[in-house]
Structure 1
Amino acid sequence: MKFLDVFSGIGGFRMGLEQAGHTCIGHIEKDKYALASYKAIYDIKEDEYEGKDVTEIEDFTELKGKYDLLVGGFPCFSGDTLVTTITGVKPIKDIKVGERVLTHNSKFKEVLNVWKKESDDLYKIKYQGSDGLRVTGNHKLYVRSKTENGFTDAYWKECKDLDTDLDYLIVPSIKNAIGKSVQHISLEEAWILGRYAADGYIQDNKRTDSNTYNNKIVLCIGKSKIKDLEHIKEYHYTISKQRTVYKVILCSERLKNLAYNIGKGSANKKAGFMFTQSIEIIKEFLKGYYAGDGYLKDNKVKCSSVSKRLIYDISILHSIAYNSSFSISNFIPPKKKIIEGREVNQNPYWIFSSRIDSDSKGHMLEIEGEIWTKLKSKERIYNTHKVYDLEVKDEHTYTVNNIGVHNCQSFSIAGHRKGFNDTRGTMFFYLAKILEQTKPSFFLFENVKGLLSHDKGDTFEVILNTLDELGYNTSWNLFNSKDFGVPQNRERVYITGYLRGRGGREIFPIRQTSGKDYGNEYTNTVPTRFRGSGGETYIKSEQKIKQIGKFIQSSRKSPSRYRVFDETGISPTITTAQGGGLNPHIIDKGNNNTNKNKIISVGGGKSQGNKVYSPKGLSVTLSANGGGQGAKTGLYAIPIITPNRLKKRQHGRRYKTNGEPMFTLTAQDQHGVIINNKQKELGYRIRRLTPKECWRLQGFPDWAFERAKAIGTSDTQLYKQAGNAVTVNVVKAIGEEFKKMEKEIKNDSK
């Protein structure tokens, strides 16, 4: 059977289908890095069809009759709008399933899904408290409208219907979350960190005279502000006079690691880790920041930064501390400027202004204890842009650029579903368009599990209706990669079907030669004219992801190379091996732990990238993007072969236990060692998966990874490509069913 590979990535569909005996006639992929890896891996024929951007191809009819099977997934696009999370504001492109975001009613709720698409129905709105927001016309915002007698009750209103004369938008508060951090920061440290956020930098480079590293933060201070150093009494510092500034150097590993929470480089700084501190600590942090990068007079404050995230974090911290209104604006200066005879580059920057009292709210109002900001302008944008959506547990709302919004609807489901027309503006539309123009006999699509429940199943219904409208009999299954020979917990929806009138049969459920029925126990096979909601399905399996702990920040003043973990009631301790990229620091309760029966929880990130897993269980789902120390893969406790020599670099030496389901390789970074307090002979190294391991977890052979690596593909791209890929083993199993069906059709035609 011949197939066309759309949104091909690194070719998970191609690898699996070719292993099952099928032939690829063409591929379409926009990402230049993925496309380069694709071409390095596969034997591309001269006459093979190649398209680089499916959204720019108007006519696919030249492919009609040249292939039998269309395969593809639905890719995601990124956005830079800032979402308020429990750990600070973050671009939407960095939000991950499982993170907690601020809802319109000031609660933190878990993200269940991240959706992105293209749209030409956009508006730019402006209001006090933001430099503006681009939003689709049907996206709902939480508003109160002004009347002759006051204001209406709060209600949801679509952006296209907003009235600049009457409408006010909700500004959610996070006051309910303050004071819950277990990470103790002193008042002095808070002031220093604020000063660092304003105009400081970190020195953590390797010393030239030894095999050790610097542990310094440097504050740049003008001569007139030297008196500000009176705040520093607990930490020792030295002052170095430069040509135009004084540099205050503080040698402290603890301060350096606290400063990592803010970031390195002016454009990368943020301050969300302060969200859960007490008001007293937040105020001291703001004093330090305003002293370095602000103007404070007569209770008025003004500051600027090239980091948009930092300014938005500061605005939220200021509203927590002072309950005052604020404004944010963006300024774009000339790219070049002459300063003291030198030509320097200038970057765009954001300006924050407010008061440190609550007497004036400006264009903001306080109504029934909530803050509302006036809509100033609304402008239609006529170009096509990439937009986003979040599905949030219970609330279905979140906070973007400081205002509360409802999740927008990726598909038009306004009570008059028409199928194909309702998919315009989404990436599925292009797959449907290819089906419409070329009419292949079969198709196979893949997407995330959340497709079933998005918009209460309506999105999935539109997709199935569209396929029905195009003349295809359709079925679907939810498969987990762990059931197909790879130790990864990865649930994905597979949708397949055949063109009515050309012959065929349902592919699902898949029955392997072993007799195991993939899908029957925990998925639904849906007939063509499905009208249900999709619902939720659950995997029942004895194979589990085994979490044994997580990384947290130390609260001790003296730097410590310890973290608390607990797997069985005895608290093991992690120490960092030299040269480790993670360099973990934790609270060391060690043998002083009096509660032997419970897993110790002492804080730390809740994202996948901050948790530590046992290699004896399944791996967590690989992702193309991610945060935390474990980034896109999670962290794993890998046994070491010389636990009695904890300070020795391991250089790849490790145990491989019987029955271990995960393919594991040597980590190039010595990230850490975990040792049991009562059994000193047991040791582990804590590390991420390597890119090669991630490709293996997706079912790719080593030779495919080596070809992609050989053309100079960076580790960052290799991780991303694995996270975006389709699991080869699953596709191969489905491809074998297509092969059987193809044989049946040929026999019937004789």
Structure 2
Amino acid sequence: MVIKFVDLFAGIGGIRLGFENAMKNFGIETKCVLSSEIDKNACETYQLNFNETPEGDIHFIDEIDDFDFLLAGFPCQPFSYAGKQRGFGDTRGTLFFEIERLLEKYRPTGFLLENVRGLVSHDKGRTLSTIIEKLEALNYKVNYLVLNSSNFGIPQNRVRIYIVGLLNKYPNLSLESDTGSSDSHEFKKKQLSLFNEDKYNHLTVKNILETDKEVMEKYKCTDKFINMLSKVVGNEFNSLHGYRLIDYRNGKSIHSWELGLKGDCSQEEIEFMNALIANRRKKVFGTEQDGKRLTINQIRTFFDVPNLQEIIDSLLEKGYISDDGEKKYNPVAGNMSFEVFKFLDPDSISITLTSADSHRLGIVQNNIPRRITPRECARLQGFPDYFKCHPNDKFAYKQFGNSVSVPVIEKVISDLVSNNIEFFDKHFNVKKEVTKS
């Protein structure tokens, strides 16, 4: 028996890959009868890997061969609530409505939907309630999990919601929601406290890095950028592990004034800027706004030096702070569009990959600063090395930032089959052929 499925909002096929892997582990054959994606560059990557080009806009797809399972990593659009007093709304005009439409027409046996974690709390939970009610109105029983990819052999902090449903059968699952560590620092603290009792067998960034010989020269940081970094760390670039290049917070951050972006700063000017960033949000200066402007007398409460006015004048001239005309000062915290905005810690997990910034994540390997490669982005999403990246790096970075984590999909589907084996046997005659993977 073959499970036929559709792959909607397919991207580069991450959900499909995880689904097919899970079914293969159970000895279940699969056949994709339709894939749909509107991004032409993602379609090119899909074609490279699955030898088929997805159909276009889901709004214009109506006739499909019968299928058993629906997969969709659908975008989360705002829902219009007609009747908020009931806590439920109208899905018309949203992309979820297209899923609802196809489920109602074709009545597949089950589905898997993936979305951002914000769906759980969107509109105080009413959006998710709307989705579940609409699915249950079609006689699907629904269960969902909120999972962090870092708990599934992927060194990335990526929390997503996975919604599964079966026709007239509540989907039992043994997996439990677990949002994992909120950032790389918390992850390291937890790992130290676990000793040898890590039930998830976590991996870290160093496990997905390419070797020096594999990394092309174009991914290494430019001499100009390295010279800026050396103003802060000298030649000890390995000390950059876990640092973010950002102006509006302290912690493990490097700021534009430390790099000399708008002009070199003295050590005293750097200390002033760091103190201003650390203290300007304190409630003692008022609560009417975040990052409020401070007078020189307010500044003296945390940075009192004889030449304070000279320091302020110098930083005003360079453009690191601004004056509102009434001698109240605030940092000018613009966007620092450097080659790297965050150096990953090889002994921890990565921040969440995004389509906008994946190309500016960095790593220091053997004391050499560089950007992570598209292949390393693929590995951070759990794609196997045989998966072909788009030949244009710009598109490859964007696509992996937008994608799902393949092993999480595989695990959710495997858990679904394992815990509902009689249901799958009834519909696909698989019980005698499969054993729990």
On whether the aligned pair clears a TM of 0.5, the verdict is: yes
Structure with the bigger RCO (C-alpha within 8 Å, sep 6+) is: 2
Partner Cα separation in structure 2 for residue 464 and residue 620 of structure 1 = 30
Alpha-carbon displacement from aligned partner over 1:510-558 (angstroms, at most 9, x marks no partner): 2xxxxxxx52x559xxxxxxxxxxxxx9798526999xxxxxxx9xxxx
Contact kept? 1:451, 1:460, Cα under 8 Å: yes
Counterpart selection for 1:729 from 404, 407, 430? 407
Contact kept? 1:695, 1:722, Cα under 8 Å: yes
1:425-574 equivalences in 2 (<5 Å): 425-500=93-168, 504-510=169-175, 518-519=176-177, 542=190, 562-564=230-232
The equivalent of 1:2 in structure 2 is 4
**Alpha-carbon spacing, 1:742–1:3, altered in 2? closer, same or farther (3 Å):** farther
The equivalent of 1:16 in structure 2 is 18
More displaced 10-residue stretch of structure 1: 586-595 or 9-18: 586-595
C-alpha deviation, 1:442, in angstroms: 0.6
Alpha-carbon displacement from aligned partner over 1:676-705 (angstroms, at most 9, x marks no partner): xxxxxxx341x3221111111111112212
Partner Cα separation in structure 2 for residue 572 and residue 743 of structure 1 = 49
Counterpart selection for 2:81 from 403, 412, 428? 412
Alpha-carbon displacement from aligned partner over 1:605-654 (angstroms, at most 9, x marks no partner): 678963433222111111112xxxxx3355334133xxxxxxxxxxxxxx
State how many pairs are aligned: 309
Alpha-carbon displacement from aligned partner over 1:300-356 (angstroms, at most 9, x marks no partner): xxxxxxxxxxxxxxxxxxxxxxxxxxxxxxxxxxxxxxxxxxxxxxxxxxxxxxxxx
Larger radius of gyration: 1
The equivalent of 2:348 in structure 1 is 617
1:568-717 equivalences in 2 (<5 Å): 585-586=260-261, 610-625=341-356, 631-640=357-366, 683-685=367-369, 687-705=370-388, 708-709=389-390, 713-717=391-395
Partner Cα separation in structure 1 for residue 50 and residue 385 of structure 2 = 13
The equivalent of 2:56 in structure 1 is 52
Contact kept? 2:74, 2:96, Cα under 8 Å: yes
Which amino acid is 2:5 matched to? F
SS where residue 723 of structure 1 aligns?
A: helix
Which amino acid is 2:36 matched to? I
Which amino acid is 2:13 matched to? G
**Alpha-carbon spacing, 1:560–1:35, altered in 2? closer, same or farther (3 Å):** closer
The equivalent of 1:164 in structure 2 is none
The equivalent of 2:91 in structure 1 is 423
Alpha-carbon displacement from aligned partner over 1:49-93 (angstroms, at most 9, x marks no partner): 953110122x34x43xx3221110123xxxxxxxxxxxxxxxxxx
SS where residue 114 of structure 2 aligns?
A: strand
**Alpha-carbon spacing, 1:637–1:522, altered in 2? closer, same or farther (3 Å):** closer
Contact kept? 2:240, 2:364, Cα under 8 Å: no
Partner Cα separation in structure 2 for residue 476 and residue 701 of structure 1 = 26
The equivalent of 1:166 in structure 2 is none
Which amino acid is 1:410 matched to? F
Q: Report the TM-score when normalising by structure 1.
A: 0.36
C-alpha deviation, 1:18, in angstroms: 1.3
1:73-112 equivalences in 2 (<5 Å): 73-75=73-75
SS where residue 447 of structure 1 aligns?
A: strand
**Alpha-carbon spacing, 1:470–1:620, altered in 2? closer, same or farther (3 Å):** same
C-alpha deviation, 1:725, in angstroms: 0.9
What percent identity do the matched residue pairs reach? 34
**Alpha-carbon spacing, 1:413–1:594, altered in 2? closer, same or farther (3 Å):** same
Partner Cα separation in structure 1 for residue 165 and residue 350 of structure 2 = 31
Superposition RMSD in Å: 4.2
Partner Cα separation in structure 2 for residue 465 and residue 563 of structure 1 = 57
**Alpha-carbon spacing, 1:9–1:637, altered in 2? closer, same or farther (3 Å):** closer
1:248-327 equivalences in 2 (<5 Å): none
Contact kept? 2:37, 2:57, Cα under 8 Å: yes
Contact kept? 1:441, 1:499, Cα under 8 Å: yes
Q: Report the TM-score when normalising by structure 2.
A: 0.60
The equivalent of 2:292 in structure 1 is none
C-alpha deviation, 1:418, in angstroms: 9.2
Which amino acid is 2:385 matched to? D
Gaps of 5+ in 2: 193-203, 206-223, 244-258, 279-319, 321-330, 432-437
The equivalent of 1:70 in structure 2 is 70
Partner Cα separation in structure 2 for residue 561 and residue 728 of structure 1 = 35
Partner Cα separation in structure 2 for residue 437 and residue 607 of structure 1 = 50
Partner Cα separation in structure 2 for residue 606 and residue 613 of structure 1 = 19
Which amino acid is 1:624 matched to? S
SS where residue 422 of structure 1 aligns?
A: coil
Partner Cα separation in structure 2 for residue 478 and residue 446 of structure 1 = 10
The equivalent of 2:285 in structure 1 is none
C-alpha deviation, 1:738, in angstroms: 3.6
Whose helix fraction is larger, Structure 1's or Structure 2's? 2
